[in-house]
Amino acid sequence: MTDTALSSWQEQYMTASEAYPIAVCEEHIVPLLKRNFTRAVVVRDATLAAYADRVSALHDDELAGLYWHDENHLRKRRSSGQVVHTDYVTKSDIAAESAAAKIRLNESDIAAFTEKCNAIRDLFIRVYNAYTNQPFEVMRGFTLFTPQGGRGRSPELHIDNTILTVHWAAALATFRVYDGELDDDVWNALSHIERKKKSPEDQQRDFESLIELAKVLPMIENNVGDLMITKGQLGQDLSSPQVRQQMCVHVSSPTIQENGQAGFLMTPQMPKLNPV
């Protein structure tokens, strides 16, 4: 990154530190991501929140009680983002997936949501390819529709196990991040590399402790409509202070349970390495 690349950027941040810069132009996203103290870039554009007030969630206690993804299939829970989209989404996709969660979108909003998700897909692929030379197998998109009263798919404090992720808080609910210090044992619990060394019982204990920790840490909410491009931990050693200062530690926001959720998520599926 050079000073020239950001010469036209109006310096602004989502948090008190410089870890979450706000970009309003695409040309600033990658230079901001490449700073070694950036955790995520917030893309703030009025068009991303233009119709948020027109989206509503219907309350259904029975349906809401099913929503919380905890990676335990025995509980037969469901969650937003169960359908993987490896190409552009269609209006039929958006209509069906929003209706399944009782998120109310009219025909024009379905069309607008579809168009915006596909524009985000194109943007994220451009950003990813400019940020890293690591190839991906396929770019996966997930709609995030959760009924009012349902819990978000990740109630535990976590860092995505990828290079970059994009999350659009389209309507109803926000995205919650942490921008403070954490103890070494918490970083150990957050580490995907360390997790694979642990027994299922220890992994479950870590999972439960990270749920409780997320309830007491001073988390920070973004704005409805914000697009967040977050740095993840794929292949990273979380014992390194230089790595830690670039990790986006986040959690599903309680605003999902209060209001419901309409959003969009994208992550690259990386090639599987052959075992040595």
Cα 137 to chain centroid distance, Å, stands at: 20
pLDDT of 23 reads 96
Q: What is the pLDDT of residue 276?
A: 37
Q: What is the CA radius of gyration of the chain?
A: 18
* Average pLDDT of the chain to the nearest whole number: 91
Predicted pLDDT at 154:
87
State the pLDDT at residue 275: 43
Give the per-residue pLDDT at 98: 95
- What is the number of alpha carbons within 13 Å of residue 197 lying toward its C-beta? 7
* Whether pLDDT at 12 is above 90: yes
Roughly what angle, to the nearest 10 degrees, separates helices 107-131 and 26-33? 50
Q: What is the C-alpha separation between 83 and 103, in angstroms, rounded?
A: 16
- Summarised one tens digit per residue, pLDDT across range 96-113 is 999 999 999 999 999 999
Q: pLDDT by residue (tens digit) across 129-162?
A: 999 999 999 999 999 999 999 988 888 999 999 9
From residue 75, alpha-carbon distances to 68, 142, 200, 237 in Å are 10, 22, 16, 32
CB 194 within 8 A of CB 134: no
Q: What is the rounded distance in angstroms from the CA atom of residue 251 to the CA atom of residue 163?
A: 17
Count how many residues are written for the chain: 276
Least confident of 3-17, 66-80, 224-238: 66-80
Residue 50 has pLDDT above 80, yes or no: no
3-state class (DSSP) for residue 204: helix
pLDDT value of position 78? 61
Confidence at residue 164, expressed as pLDDT on a 0 to 100 scale = 98
Task: Give the pLDDT of residue 182.
Answer: 97
pLDDT over 60 at 1, yes or no: no
pLDDT band at 70 (very low <50, low <70, confident <90, very high): low
Residues 250-275: pLDDT tens digits?
Answer: 999 999 999 999 999 999 998 875 44
- The residue-averaged pLDDT of 52-79 equals 75
* 24/41 Cα distance (integer angstroms): 10
Give residue-wise pLDDT tens across range 228-253.
999 999 999 999 999 999 999 999 99
Alpha helices for the chain (secondary structure H):
26-33, 61-64, 91-100, 107-131, 184-190, 192-195, 200-216, 241-244, 255-259
And the tokens for 208? 């439960």
> What per-residue string of b and e applies to 42-63 under the rule 16 or more CB within 10 Å gives b?
bbbeeebbebbeebebeeeeeb
Residue 72 reports pLDDT greater than 60? no
Separation of alpha carbons 65 and 157, rounded Å:
21
* pLDDT reading at 53 higher than 90: no
Residue 3 has pLDDT above 70, yes or no: no
- Tell me whether strands 164-171 and 227-231 are parallel, antiparallel or unpaired: antiparallel
Per-position b or e across 187-217, b if 16+ CB within 10 A of its CB: bbbbbbebeeeeeeeebeebbeebeebbeeb
